[in-house]
Structure 1
Amino acid sequence: MLSDEEKHYLFKLIREALNSYFEGKPFSPSPPLPEEKYPHLFERRGAFVTFWKGKNLRGCIGNIHPQQPLYEEICEIALSSALRDPRFPPLKKEELSEIEIEISLLSPLVKADPEKLEVGKHGILIKRGYYQGLLLPQVAIEYNWDAETFLRHACLKAGLPEDCYLDPDTEIYLFTAEVFTENE
């Protein structure tokens, strides 16, 4: 679990990265010091950054295989979520004051059988060949889905038949997430 200071630092970095982008300035996140005080920010963890405008989703992108410490990775994820989510037009500078940021930090993914899925606790990654679809744990709660509906939607997100989770060639990975918002 991240400390409140670590959470605050991540939101500060995201806001700085977005402002630098819109001002056309280069941005390089500076490390939080000392590492002993902010140990979680130096970990390599899967993470997603979600932008909300009111109650409407405005962007959500993440990385399950990070290559950098969290404090660096979160900035790249946030910029991708704001500017490259194919479901939405790029975020505009004028919208910055209207968006709320949500961060989801993932536990390691664990290969599991579909009956191990606990709605509200687990997120899911469905994978078969080159196809994969990931849904964060909070998605099932937001839409009031049961486990089967959650699995079916993960299959569809992967571009696979909605019952692909029943196929033994489909890999299912479960994870948990520490989810927090900027205005908590």
Structure 2
Amino acid sequence: MDNAPDLEMNHLPMLARTHLAACLEGKPGFKDREKWVKLLPPLGKQGACFVTLTHKGALRGCIGSLEAHRSLLDDLLDNCLAAATRDPRFRPVTRPELDEITLEVSILTPAVELHYQDTEDLLAQLQPGVHGVILSHSGRRSTFLPQVWEQIPAKETFLNHLCQKAGLDGDCWRRKPGIRVYRVEKFKEIKS
């Protein structure tokens, strides 16, 4: 995302909110595709993002893509609607409720495999607050964005929760699962 000034990319949460509000009102969503791709060329390129919704600081929905498979704009629009209406952990967001929700957009770098010898080496390589982590084990997979380190700063506990999120026992990370890491560039909505 280096080829777009941060100030312009800070518009991503506003774009997501505008699309989401229209969809929740039963109207067609985003209409100005060419305008925004021209203004922010990275939106037209393949990209992966997560959209996180919070209400008074509490998670209200979070859906995203781990790998780029469509334009960043399409990923943003689809993931914001999915976070609001299809996150299985929460009931769908209503239009009146949207006014109380804050949106954050996290654009992911490509994930890279973390090569490690043992649990000590794994723990030494993880960078809290920097790395998003994807854990794969026994045909299951889960991820935490780098922001999750704010709630779970201890590496062992972070990995325990990541295993549990994948539906595995909490210490599965001690049995040499696949670990990939990524970074994010995040853009949080500023509420007045």
Same fold (TM over 0.5): yes
The RMSD of aligned alpha carbons is 2.0
Counterparts of 2:50 and 2:92, CA distance in 1: 17
State the one-letter code of the partner of 1:134: T
Is 1:87 the counterpart of 2:96? The answer is no
Q: Which runs of 5+ in 2 are unaligned?
A: 117-121
Residue 97 of structure 1 deviates from its aligned partner by 1.0
Q: 2:10 corresponds to which residue?
A: 7
**AA partner of residue 6 (structure 1):** M
- In the superposition, relative to structure 1, how do residues 27 and 36 fare at CA in structure 2: closer, same or farther (>3 Å)? closer
**TM-score normalised by structure 1 residue count:** 0.89
The 4+ residue runs of structure 1 with deviation greater than 3 A are 32-37
- 1:131-142 mapped onto 2 (5 Å cutoff): 131-142=140-151
1:181 to 2:184 alignment: no
> In structure 2, what is the equivalent of residue 127 of structure 1?
136
**By how many angstroms is 1:162 displaced?**
1.5
Partner residue of 1:162 out of 161, 165, 170: 170
In 2, distance between residues paired with 1:39 and 1:11? 17
Contact 1:6 1:41 survives alignment (8 Å): no
Counterpart position of 2:119: none
Unaligned runs of 5+ in 1: none
- How far apart are residue 118 of structure 1 and its match? 0.8
Give, in whole Å, the separation in 2 of the partners of 1:7 and 1:120: 20
Identity %: 35
Distance 1:180 1:35 in 2: 18
Equivalent positions of 1:93-112 (< 5 A) are: 93-112=95-114
Q: How does the TM-score come out when normalised to structure 2?
A: 0.85
d(CA) in 2 for partners of 1:181, 1:32: 24
